[in-house]
Amino acid sequence: MSLQDDVKRLTAPDILARKGGDPIVMLTSYHAHTAGLVDQYCDVILVGDSLGMVMHGMETTVPVTLDMMILQGRAVMRGSKRALVVVDMPFGSYEASREQAFHAAVRVLKETGCGAIKIEGGRRMAETIAFLVERGVPVMGHVGLTPQSINTIGSFRAQGRDERDWPRIEDDALAVAQAGAFSVVIEAVAEPLARKITQAVGIPTIGIGASPACDGQVLVLEDMLGLSPRVPKFVKRYGDIGPGIGKAIEDYAKDVRARRFPGAEHTYGMKTKKL
């Protein structure tokens, strides 16, 4: 915290301490202005690599780079004051070795000022998570559906539809918790499994398309606002701003075409104060 700051930001240990307590409210944001709005109501802001799909129209999160995450992470830090900001580590920036993950995570923490990073993967990433946490990098895990693995899993379908897969997914969450993660996102898994994991691990679980039994929930902001063209079935729409934005742009275009130039009355030399 700098000397000028009067609001104390939530930290990874604050979120860890919420296990089994008040639900943790988390949303994504990639820009300063939406971060300012999300910050007023949420405990955690996730600068998700979903920005590749939401902001850049990519088909998957695979092409997202570390530089993209750092740029938007900085914007979100500028726009927010109170929430813990977690920045996603993009595909290819952390899987090769613990050292690769550490160097990439250090860039994210130093260049954005965020409070934690998020890594996809369970048991296979546990050693890396422990390495990072021991060296001062707070890590949020992410198990169940891990969208960065799209090219090996084949689709964004819910995980654990077959009960025989449950022990593996539960083991992933346990491994992440034992490695020292301060919380774990559980994405698109069957409700009873998410409930079981939440009871089994000592860290907060944050569900997305998982279960109300999780310790918190996260959604992609544009999905819940009704701005994304395609949204997963489980997303509740709390807004419908897409059509509102379309209508505003239509009205603007009509004005300009009719030479009713918006704001023209304030053009310099007319009603504005003399310079």
Which residues here bind ligand KIV, judged by CB under 6 A? 28, 46, 48-50, 88, 185, 187, 208, 218, 220
**Pick from 141, 146, 131: nearest CA to 183:** 141
Phi and psi, residue 174, nearest 5°: -65, -40
| Catalytic one of 187, 222, 250, 265 | 187
Judged by CB, which is closer to ligand KIV: 53, or 137? 53
CB of 74 to ligand KIV, least distance (A): 17
Closer residue to ligand KIV in complex, CB, 158/273: 158
**Min CB(230)–ligand KIV separation in Å:** 14
Query: What's the closest the beta carbon of residue 90 comes to ligand KIV, in angstroms?
Result: 9
For residues 146 and 136, what is the distance between their CA atoms, to the nearest angstrom? 24
Catalytic residue flag (residue 187): yes
Q: Which C-beta is closer to ligand KIV: that of 73 or that of 267?
A: 73
CB of 52 to ligand KIV, least distance (A): 8
> 63 — alpha (psi -120 to 50), left (phi > 0) or beta?
alpha
**Euclidean distance between CA atoms 186 and 210, whole angstroms:** 7
Q: Which residue is nearest to ligand KIV (CB)?
A: 48
Q: Is 160:166 a contact under the CB 8 Å cutoff? A: yes
Cβ-based nearer residue to ligand KIV, 239 or 244: 239
Give the nearer residue to ligand KIV in terms of CB position, either 170 or 223.
Answer: 223
Distance, CA of 117 to CA of 96 (rounded, Å): 17
Please say which residue, 101 or 273, places its beta carbon nearer to ligand KIV. 101
Q: How many residues does the chain have?
A: 275
Angle of helix 66-79 relative to helix 98-112, nearest 10 degrees?
30
Q: Report the nearest approach of ligand KIV to the CB of residue 78 (Å).
A: 19
**Closest listed residue to residue 230, CA positions, set 156, 158, 143, 146:** 156
Residues 233, 145: Cα–Cα separation, whole Å? 15
Nearest distance, CB of residue 234 and ligand KIV, angstroms: 11
Q: How far apart are CA 218 and CA 203, in angstroms?
A: 16
Dihedral of CA atoms 50, 48, 105, 5 in degrees, nearest 10, equals 150
Among all residues, which ones are annotated catalytic?
187
